Structure 1
Amino acid sequence: MANKERFFAEIEQALKQVLPKDKQYIALHEPTFAGKEWEYVKDCLDTGWVSSVGKYVDKFEADLAEFTGVKRAVAVVNGTAALHICLLLVGVKAEDEVLMPALTFIATANAVSYCRAVPHFIDSDFTTLGVDAQKLDEYLTKIAEIRAGECYNKLTNRRIKAVVPMHTFGHPVNLTALENICQKYKLELVEDAAESLGSYYKGQHTGNCGKVAALSFNGNKTITTGGGGAILTNDLELGTLAKHLTTTAKLAHRWEFRHDQVAYNYRLPNLNAALGCAQLEQLPGFLQKKRLLADNYQAALANIKGVEFFKEPADCKSNYWLNAILLDKEFAPYRDELLAYLNEHGLMCRPVWNLMYTLPMYANCPKMDCAQAEDIARRLINIPSGSSLI
């Protein structure tokens, strides 16, 4: 294409117009440590409380619950562990099917596999990059039936227990429509909110729909604990059970090691929680900067034909965790060339994840037609998004 090189250069110039001029290479999403991280971590070292209990674990859980508006937050070692426990809490068992987007990070599918359940892949839409609720409803009308108050796949004869929407890059999915689907088909709603801390759907923080939700605090998330995650719930009994299951099901006793069921050592160390407490204190500022960065990108890219900056869905407030651009279909065949060009010119940019059913271990899982997810995957590029870039 004759205009390909000019198109690449226009995008590069637009991005660099927004980004800091004093850096030779700009990462996709670096953490920002500008608060009390050193003070809180040093306190852990000075007092010796560095492992899986301590005041920072308690504070981090309380602060998370307050910020997100849930009744209970349980801190764990990573977001995948959080989602694994969420699925167990809603009753996902071996051989159950769990509906989830084909367009997601592999942790969503892996958490289902940890339960020895079966991922069932569904399509995404262009307004949220997440689950297409209308298309899912139409699909379930064809393949699902209710037996004794539970949903079954007529094609595989397996129970369909839950749907796990993932808020892609922090953009909330249509939760109202998904709640209606879950009620209609007797499904549990489990939010994979790993990427959406600081995102709101119709004024309510993500993670408040359904019985449980999962967060992630990996090093590239909006806030980080190094590694880490959390389970969110508005059911206090489930919250207590989540804490029990993630702390080896150990019963309180002055000295004996008493455990009452097979459980998991998913505890978040106090050191990591200390980092998280300091990061949470800065979260409003991070979100403000990330929104300004997104606004600047949108303005800089507005007059370039062939590319669109992805904006938050209607009635939502996104954290803009990872900013994304979508190439017009005529430029889609050159996505990888553009990625190479941008990276060679000092801008760390990435494609979206490979669709789950294209991976060998999930190639034989059930799936609906995912034409929209395939189209998104061909055309989407993530661009630098850290809060330190403003």
Structure 2
Amino acid sequence: MEQQLIDLVRDIYATNEFIPLHAPIFTGNERVYLNDTIESTFVSSVGKFVDQFERQIQSYTGAGRAVATVNGTAALHTALYLADVQPGELVLTQALTFVATCNALHHLGAKPVFIDIEHGSFGLCPIAAETWLTENAQLNDQGQCIHKESGVAIKAILPMHTFGHPAQLDELQALAQRWNLCLIEDAAESLGSFYKGRHTGVIGRFAALSFNGNKVITTGGGGMLLCREDNDAKRAKHVTTTAKLPHPYEFYHDEPGFNYRMPNLNAALGCAQLEKITKILASKRCIASRYEAFFAGRDYRFINEPVYARSNYWLNAVYCPSADSRNQLLEMTNQQGIMTRPVWQLMHRLPMFANELRGDLTQSELAEAHLVNLPSSAIVQA
């Protein structure tokens, strides 16, 4: 099976050279817009492409507002900051996620509570979250959600759309409302993914997108904070621009802020990339369908989009029948120049998060032992 898969991947990408997991594609106006930016001399966070990229992402996703940042972690950090997550307070999130999710919490001094995933989307399971809250939390007289044992506030719930597959957002939003929590979507991987017809990132109060070099579209390094409310977006733009008040020449900052604005160079790249997102997504769906057909009837389960969603198939994944078969697949493909990767190590296995609160993580641990990500670069011609 492994050799047949290797042959399939080489056929998809029509090469005998090394095949990466997810490579960027520069077949459009990238050079034109970058040269425009250089000639303008506005290469930092002031420039026409920053505003243009924000407007285009806002329009594409249907978000209330979009605020460009230097990376996805900065967008997520800002979202948590605006949700008033304080040092020592708790946020429910996934153990199966990229470390940036938890790093954003760490930057605020907040603490993650690791909740299991559900097996369909591999996103945060609303049933597991409800179970943990019922057993460990209560609403105080002011309606604030607190941890029973410690009395520490629980402020938010932070699902991540794993590999671009939307989590169960209706159920998570209902859960957040019952427990007076802020729903913040880590949508770093899900540009181009839709939940029941709505783009991910527009259901929670905030969401964070990433445009890292390995994402569906890239700005080199960059992110975007999506806000549902206009007032949140105005404050986001203020605090990410060092909280500087407008003035013709004085420098006055009215609160601690972040130097998080996306440079114009990066935004220019993003504007060019976004022009071909429809072709990119179509290519990725075609590649996913070939993987799905290959694994049909085998003991390996291709990770398909949830029934309620249309996924971007950012990273294709297969659930292997055993840990041994997973390891064999990883070893054979990588030995032959096909980059495959296991899912991230679970967050509670990392030394800095080993002692955090967590619920039962059975599904997360199974995914860690069985999942393999497959080459997923789109193929788009100039």
TM-score (norm 2): 0.97
Percentage of pairs with the same residue: 47
Give yes or no for the alignment of 1:341 onto 2:332.
yes
Give yes or no for the alignment of 1:205 onto 2:205.
no
Give yes or no for the alignment of 1:280 onto 2:271.
no
Question: CA separation in 2, counterparts of 1:265 and 1:276?
Answer: 20
Instruction: Map residues 292-307 of structure 1 onto 2, 5 A cutoff.
Output: 292-303=286-297, 305-307=298-300
Aligned to 1:65: 58
1:239 positional shift = 0.2
Q: Is the 8 A contact 1:133 1:174 kept in 2?
A: yes
Aligned to 2:254: 260
Q: Is the 8 A contact 1:339 1:349 kept in 2?
A: yes
Aligned to 2:48: 55
Give yes or no for the alignment of 1:159 onto 2:150.
no
Q: 4+ residue runs of structure 1 moved beyond 6 angstroms? A: none
Secondary structure of 2:67's match? strand
AA aligned to 1:179 is Q
Instruction: Map residues 1-390 of structure 1 onto 2, 5 A cutoff.
Output: 7-17=1-11, 19-147=12-140, 148-303=142-297, 305-328=298-321, 331-388=322-379
AA aligned to 2:350 is L
Question: CA separation in 2, counterparts of 1:346 and 1:64?
Answer: 35
Question: CA separation in 2, counterparts of 1:249 and 1:234?
Answer: 21
1:389 positional shift = 7.6
1:29 positional shift = 0.3
For residues 31-57 of structure 1, give each alpha carbon's deviation from its aligned partner in whole angstroms, at most 9, with x where no partner exists: 001110000000011111111110000
Q: Is the 8 A contact 2:145 2:181 kept in 1?
A: yes
From the superposition, tell whether residues 23 and 388 of structure 1 become closer, same or farther in structure 2 (CA, over 3 Å): farther
For residues 310-348 of structure 1, give each alpha carbon's deviation from its aligned partner in whole angstroms, at most 9, with x where no partner exists: 0000110000000000001xx322422321210111210
Q: Is the 8 A contact 2:182 2:204 kept in 1?
A: yes
Question: CA separation in 2, counterparts of 1:119 and 1:137?
Answer: 16
Secondary structure of 1:387's match? coil
- Structure 1 runs not aligned, ≥5 long: 1-6
1:8 positional shift = 2.7
How many residues are paired up?
380
Secondary structure of 1:388's match? coil
Secondary structure of 2:333's match? helix
TM-score (norm 1): 0.95
Secondary structure of 2:146's match? strand
Report the aligned-residue RMSD: 1.2
Q: Is the 8 A contact 1:247 1:266 kept in 2?
A: yes
Secondary structure of 1:251's match? coil
AA aligned to 1:261 is E
